[in-house]
Amino acid sequence: MEFFTVRNLTMKFGGLVAVNDFDITLKKGEIVGLIGPNGAGKTTVFNMIAGYYAPTSGTIHFQGKLLNGKKANEITRSGVARTFQNIRLFTELTVVENVMIAYHCRLRSSFLGAALRLPLYRREEKQMYEGAMEFLREVELEDLSREQAGSLPYGMQRRLEIARALATGPQLLLLDEPAAGMNPNETQDLLHLILRLREKYRLTVFLIEHDMKFVMQLCERIQVLDYGTTIASGTPEEIQQNERVIEAYLGEG
């Protein structure tokens, strides 16, 4: 059984074909990058996988189960977590609350049990808090756990969003431009963080990124989209040599 396969995924918005016949297979534990010029359809691919758009056609299978037609929250609970290109934290809540909420979908306490604070809920609440702090330690934000999420600087917000996604207990993590807006030092830290998290939580990572140095260092395989169509895929070295990729990025010479 394949870990994650996408076949012939197509998304049309009216007459515009945003993504055309997109195929990809991910093996467990891989880090794979999706690159391409602006407007190539990368985020549309993510939105289809995560259940935000219903694909016009094509299939998405995760661990043998069909994901098409499921709602975003169901897909997350089946083990696919994502971050957003434009960070979407709950800015008015505290840092630790942002991560604690992500545990909610794994809660066993009932609605009444939680409101009446029955023993099971109290135990689970403690687990939520401790688990959330653990993830914050992982992304080095535990000292800021009581700050308002919106008050954090940009790079930290990105890391917090990763911690929040991790708290849902994913096996496949979709990162949409995790290094955007980071300085070179932060980008390097992020690279090591992603590698460390993959080891520790046995994650498979699928990411979109524009920072080529970052992508080439981190990813084991890369797929390139242009105008919704896959124009190349392979190892970072192969991609760097590929004529069509160079053309897509630099234009015809």
Does 91 participate in binding another protein (rule CB under 8 A)? yes
Say which amino acid occupies 84.
F
CB 23 within 8 A of CB 3: no
Phi, psi (degrees; rounded to nearest 5) at 205: -120, 130
Q: Candidates 5-13, 84-92, 188-196, 244-252: pick the segment binding another protein (CB under 8 A).
A: 84-92
Point out which residues pair with 32 in neighbouring strands: 206, 221
| Interacting span for another protein (CB under 8 A) from 35-43, 81-89, 227-235, 239-247 | 81-89
CA distance 216 to 179: 13
**Residue 111 C-beta: closest distance to another protein, Å:** 6
User: In angstroms, rounded to a whole number, what is the distance separating the alpha carbons of residues 208 and 196?
Assistant: 19
- Residue 107 interacting with another protein (CB under 8 A): yes
Our CB check for another protein shows the closer of 2 and 130 to be 130
- Asked if 72 touches another protein (CB under 8 A), the answer is yes
With contacts defined by CB under 8 A, how many residues of the chain interact with another protein?
A: 42
Question: Which two structure tokens, joined as six digits, stand for 14?
Answer: 């009216």
HSE (CB half, 13 Å, CA atoms) of 241? Answer: 5
**What is the pattern of x (binds another protein, CB under 8 A) and - over residues 9-38?**
------------------------------
Nearest CB to another protein, comparing residues 43 and 233: 43
Choice between 4 and 121, CB closer to another protein: 121
CB of 7 to another protein, least distance (A): 24
92 binds another protein (CB under 8 A): yes
**Is the Cβ–Cβ distance between 245 and 37 less than 8 Å?**
no
For Cα atoms 104, 4, 169, give the angle at the middle one, nearest 5 degrees.
20
- Examine residue 246 and tell whether it contacts another protein (CB under 8 A): no
Binding residue (CB under 8 A) for another protein from 4, 22, 62, 84: 84
Of the candidates 23, 11, 79, 20, the one whose C-alpha atom is nearest the C-alpha of residue 48 is: 11
